Structures are given as C-alpha cells and as structure tokens.
C-alpha cells in the first residue's frame, strides 16, 4: 500500500499543471482585459465565452470536492443510485436551455436577485440576495474547502488546515481575473479532471480484475457487478437502508426535480456562465454540459463502488478509519488514488485540485457578483462607478474566501467528518431554501398574476416549512405515515428508541407544493383587490429550438432512459 505522500515526480506534474493554468489565465486576462471594462464584462464576461467554454465552465464549476469526495463516498455506501444527481441533471440542463435561459436573455437578466427585483420587488430581491450569500458561504464554500482539503490531505499527507488555506489562495488568484479567466481556464480544468477521474476508474477496475486472476476493464466491471449487486440499483425499495437518502421513485417524479431545476436554472453560481452569451451560444454550451454530465458517474461514482468492493476484500481498512474508528466514506476516493504510481498520482492530484479550484472560483465570483451588483449598488451606493464595483468585487472574493476558511476550521469536521456523507449534507441543507426559491421562480416565469407578497411567502414560508418537516418527528408521533415510507417512530417504555425523519427529497416536494398553493391563494386575493404584478416578456416563440439542439436533446434523453432501464 502506498503511503499518503507525493513524490518529487508527482509534485513536478502538479507544478506543470499549476503553471499551465495560471499562465493561461494570465494570458487570457492580459489579452481580453480592458482597463475600462464594465462591471458586467468583469462579472459575466459579456459576449466573450464560446459554447464550449460555457459548457466546460458549467461542469468545472459543478464538479468539485463534493463530487470527487462526497459522491464517491456516497457511492461507497449506497452504490450507483447516487448517479441520479448526475443523469437527471443532464435532462434538467436540456429543460433549462429550452425554457429558462430564453426568459433570462430576452429580459436582460444578469443576476438572480435582479430577476426577483424586476418580477416582484426590491424587498424580495434583497432578502434572497442575503439568503444566497449565506448559503454560498456557509454551505457551499465551506463544504468545498473542507472536503477538498480532506482529500488533498489524504493523498499528500499535508496538514488539512494548510490545504484549506492553499486551495483558497489558488482560487482567489483565478477569481480575481474575472469571469473571462474563470471561463477559459475551466476548459483546461475540465480536461484535467476528466483525465484524472478516468485514470482512477481504470486503476480500480484493473485492480479488481487482477485480484481475481484476470485482466482488463470489462472483466473488472463484470466482477464489480457480480460481487456487489446491491450497489447497482438506481431505484431503492422501502426496506433499503439508504431509502432515506434516495426514496424510491422520488428521484424520477418527486423532489429530485426540485433539487436539479433549482440548482441548474435558478442559481447565480451556474446560470452566470450563460447569461453573458446570445441564446444560440448559451443553448449550445448547456447542451454540451448535459453530454458531459452523462459521463460523470464513470469518473466519480464507479471509483466509489470499486473502493467498496476492495474494502470488502480487506483493503483500505486503515486508510478509511476516522479518528474515532468509524469507517469514513469520504476517504474512499483518496484511498484509491494512493495506489497510483508516481506521475499518475500527481496527475490525479492535479485533477482533484482542478475540480476544487474551479468550483471555488465560480462560487466566489457569484458571491462577489450578488454582493456588488445586487446589494452594494442597489442599497448602499447606487452611484458607484464600474471601476469602484470591480474593485469591490475583488475585495468581496477575498473576504468570502476568508470566511470560508474560518468556517472550515470551526465546523467543517463536525458537519462532514466522522463517517458522514458530505454530498448528502450539501444537498439536504441547500434543500431548506430551494423549494421556496423554485416556486417563486417558476410562477414568476410562467404565471403573470403571481404577486410580490406571494413571493415573499415562498421565500420565508418555504424555509419555515422545511424546518418544521425536519423537526416535527422529534415532537409528533408520525408512525401512522410509516406504511408510505415517510417517517417512523419506534417506542419502547414510552421513550423514542429509533427515529426516522421524512426523507429530505420528499420533504422538499411537500414544501414546494405548499409554497405553490400559498402563492396561488395570496396572489388571487391580491389580484381581486386590484394588485397588478410586474410581468416579464414571455412568448412561445422564445422556446423554439434549432434542429441540431433538438437532436442533441433527444439523444441525451434517450441515453438517460436507457441507463435507468438497464440499472433499475
């Protein structure tokens, strides 16, 4: 078993990666930077990104430590089913490209709070801008930093706190160049992370086949399916121990849609890549990202399943133990990479770093965009010049990253250590606000009668409902719901001995329905009183697609249907 160290050769490979990314980023900055650039040019790279840069940047920003470490850890525990987040996202991206992006571009929407301000009012926009800042820093930025540092520490043997600071510093360097630098360097990041990820999968399958006295990737995959059949089901039954995380058909017809549509369609961090382009370019980039999404389980899920079987065969026991002796799924991917030979280990190390840095840079840029354009310019200094806004945006990046570092130091291990699934942590706590956000976005798009007070209800009420459904099983006996797989209380001597919460994906579905119903009722009452909401420019011609896009969308959908049919 290789030690948790990097050789001189590994560091040399990583240094080459660092020089290429930093050098290319500096070249892009010098070539495309304009001293008189507007704030929109800096934050959105308006009109500068090609379809392939948009698609690559979408994936590079999405695929980070939460996938390489979190998703692989969840695959170790529950198997292929965690791929639903990737494969359903591919179809979601098609929907976003067809129905969401045209609305944003036609109405010249550049940030999500701007959409809420124009569609509803400034109060809703300001509340959500603050919500998003807190969510991005407390949940996303902190989790990416901690999980990323955990992985890099597990591979290199470096102190985890040093890794947190180093990742943050590298990300700040990339982010300060603006969206142009982020977008174009993400093309390199995606190439590196895909190559490194495929290498980890190759290693895992080859190792499995060699342990059984055979050779080849296909033999390794056959062994994996044969000896870990419980890890190759996409839809869980109610008796599955992982049902709470992925409750049956909810991944196809329930809360998974809310998770994905909110993330890919109503999220500044993601949509920002496409908002500076024309419709054809934006749609092309998003479709390219959908195809890349289909590949992601090969890179981030398959290694986790392989690590599980290798663990069952006696490997990784020491590497995967937490400080308290608990098996930690988050250490599955680093344990696997430690088996790579010199050079290849450095490349995989670079791939992991690329994924983390790209995601951190994208997140920090979105934080700076929302704070600068939607809070500072609107509420603090409406007369601020573009030069002032760009300068403030850069300082916002630094401040946000420092806060992320501090949160990682203080609560990272408590929330995502000791055998907990980091990926599920991110999904669940983002889900406290996403149902309400998605409700007011979808009604804001397609129902002109939705009012600002109704949106305010979804914003605040959605969060309150989420907290209620999260906490109510602790105080209310919901055992009567157990036949439906929602919640169960086991009582012994009048004391609770076992508690199952409502699965968070189901919880999101309940909250979304309540928010939509509440918005409908409030809007109807206000409409009757003569309240006329602000409307957006929406017509059916906006949703027409080219033949090439339609063909690509059908191919993506067909592949997803085939995958679910095979691995049901």
Mean predicted confidence (pLDDT) in 289-311:
87
pLDDT at 496 over 50: no
Q: With respect to residue 251, please indicate whether it lies within any of the assigned structural domains.
A: no
pLDDT at 557 over 60: yes
Closest CA to 552 of 281, 270, 274, 290: 290
Q: With respect to residue 93, please indicate whether it lies within any of the assigned structural domains.
A: yes
Task: Using CB atoms within 10 Å of the CB of residue 484, give its burial: 0 to 12 exposed, 13 to 18 middle, 19+ buried.
Answer: exposed
Residue 55 sits in which domain range? 8-25+45-214+280-430+544-566
Please report how many Cα atoms fall inside a 13 Å half-sphere around the Cα of residue 560, on the Cβ side: 26
User: Residue written as tokens 């590949």?
Assistant: 295
pLDDT at 50 over 50: yes
User: Residue written as tokens 């809310």?
Assistant: 258
Q: With respect to residue 178, please indicate whether it lies within any of the assigned structural domains.
A: yes
Q: With respect to residue 535, please indicate whether it lies within any of the assigned structural domains.
A: no
Q: Which residue has the higher pLDDT, 350 or 464?
A: 464
Query: pLDDT category, 219, cuts 50, 70, 90?
Result: confident
- For residue 385, the domain's CATH number is 1.20.1730.10
Number of domains, the chain:
1
pLDDT at 36 over 60: no
Q: pLDDT digits over 93-106, tens only?
A: 999 999 988 888 88
User: Residue written as tokens 């939509």?
Assistant: 516
Lowest mean pLDDT across 111-120, 477-486, 559-568: 477-486
Q: Which residue has the higher pLDDT, 287 or 210?
A: 287
Query: pLDDT category, 290, cuts 50, 70, 90?
Result: very high
Q: Are 282 and 93 in contact (CB under 8 A)?
A: no
Lowest mean pLDDT across 64-73, 359-368, 399-408, 454-463: 64-73
Q: With respect to residue 328, please indicate whether it lies within any of the assigned structural domains.
A: yes
List all residues 6 or more positions away from 35 whose beta carbon is below 8 Å from its beta carbon: none
Q: Which residue has the higher pLDDT, 12 or 67?
A: 12
What does the alpha-carbon distance between residue 395 and residue 317 come to, in Å, rounded to a whole number?
A: 44
Mean predicted confidence (pLDDT) in 401-413:
83
List all residues 6 or more positions away from 396 whose beta carbon is below 8 Å from its beta carbon: 367, 368, 371, 372
Q: With respect to residue 480, please indicate whether it lies within any of the assigned structural domains.
A: no
Q: Dihedral angle at the C-alpha atoms of 344, 354, 62, 557, nearest 10 degrees?
A: -40
Q: With respect to residue 395, please indicate whether it lies within any of the assigned structural domains.
A: yes
Q: pLDDT above 70 covers what percent of the chain?
A: 81
Helices 434-446, 112-119: inter-axial angle, 10-degree rounding: 50
pLDDT at 17 over 50: yes
| Contacts of 416-420 spanning 24+ positions with Cβ under 8 A | 416/143, 416/146, 416/147, 416/150, 416/330, 417/150, 417/322, 417/328, 417/330, 418/322, 418/323, 418/324, 418/326, 418/328, 419/322, 419/326, 419/327, 419/328, 419/329, 420/330
Q: With respect to residue 125, please indicate whether it lies within any of the assigned structural domains.
A: yes
- The CA-CA-CA angle for residues 130, 131, 135, to 5°, reads 115
Lowest mean pLDDT across 239-243, 250-254, 409-413, 550-554: 409-413
Mean predicted confidence (pLDDT) in 194-214:
79
Lowest mean pLDDT across 124-128, 177-181, 382-386: 177-181
Closest CA to 112 of 367, 446, 450, 463: 367
pLDDT at 491 over 50: no
């Amino acid at each position: 078993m290789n030690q948790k160290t990097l050789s001189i050769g590994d560091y040399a490979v990583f240094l080459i990666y660092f020089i290429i990314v930093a050098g290319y980023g500096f070249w892009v900055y010098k070539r495309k930077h304009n001293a008189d650039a507007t704030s929109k040019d800096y934050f959105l790279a308006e009109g500068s990104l090609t379809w392939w840069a948009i698609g690559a940047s979408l994936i590079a920003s999405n695929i980070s430590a939460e996938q390489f470490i979190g998703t692989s850890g969840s695959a170790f525990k529950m198997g292929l089913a965690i791929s639903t987040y990737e494969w359903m996202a591919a179809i979601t991206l098609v929907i976003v490209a067809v129905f969401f992006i045209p609305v944003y571009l036609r109405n010249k929407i550049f940030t999500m709070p701007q959409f809420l301000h124009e569609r509803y009012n400034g109060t809703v926009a300001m509340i959500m801008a603050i919500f998003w800042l807190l969510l991005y820093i407390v949940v996303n930025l902190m989790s990416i930093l901690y999980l990323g540092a955990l992985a890099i520490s597990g591979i290199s043997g470096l102190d985890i706190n040093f890794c947190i600071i180093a990742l943050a510093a590298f990300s700040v360097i990339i982010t300060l160049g603006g969206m142009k630098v982020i977008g174009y360097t993400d093309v390199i990041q995606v190439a590196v992370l895909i190559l490194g990820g495929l290498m980890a999968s190759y290693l895992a399958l080859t190792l499995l086949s060699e342990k059984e006295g055979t050779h080849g990737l296909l033999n390794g995959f056959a062994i994996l399916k044969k000896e870990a059949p419980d890890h190759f089901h996409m839809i869980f039954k109610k008796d599955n121990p992982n049902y709470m995380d992925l409750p049956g058909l909810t991944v196809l017809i329930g809360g998974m849609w809310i998770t994905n549509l909110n993330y890919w369609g109503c999220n500044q961090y993601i949509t920002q890549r496409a908002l500076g382009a024309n419709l054809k370019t934006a749609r092309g980039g998003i479709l390219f990202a959908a195809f890349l999404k289909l590949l992601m389980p090969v890179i981030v899920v398959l290694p986790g399943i392989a690590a599980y079987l290798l663990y069952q065969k006696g490997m990784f026991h020491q590497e995967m133990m937490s400080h308290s002796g608990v098996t930690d799924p988050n250490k599955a991917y680093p344990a696997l990479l430690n088996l790579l030979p010199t050079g290849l280990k450095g490349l995989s190390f670079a791939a992991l770093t690329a994924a983390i840095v790209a995601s951190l840079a994208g997140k920090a840029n979105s934080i700076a965009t929302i704070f600068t354009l939607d809070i500072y310019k609107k509420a603090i200094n409406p007369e601020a010049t573009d030069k002032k806004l760009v300068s403030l945006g850069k300082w916002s990046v630094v401040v946000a990253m420092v806060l992320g570092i501090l949160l990682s130091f203080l609560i990272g291990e408590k929330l995502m250590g000791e055998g907990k699934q980091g990926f599920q942590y991110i999904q669940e706590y983002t889900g406290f606000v996403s149902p309400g956000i998605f409700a007011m976005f979808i009604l804001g798009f397609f129902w002109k009668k939705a009012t600002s007070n109704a949106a305010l209800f979804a914003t605040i009420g959605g969060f309150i409902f989420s907290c209620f459904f999260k906490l109510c099983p602790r105080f209310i006996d919901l055992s009567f719901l157990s036949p439906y797989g929602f919640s169960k209380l086991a009582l012994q001597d009048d004391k609770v001995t076992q508690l199952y919460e409502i699965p968070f994906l189901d919880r999101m579905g309940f909250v979304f329905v309540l928010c939509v119903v509440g918005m409908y009722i409030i809007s109807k009452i206000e409409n009757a009183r003569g309240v006329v909401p602000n409307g957006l420019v929406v017509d059916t011609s906006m949703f027409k697609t080219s033949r090439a896009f339609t063909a690509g969308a059908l191919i993506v959908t067909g592949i997803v249907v085939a995958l679910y049919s095979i691995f049901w």
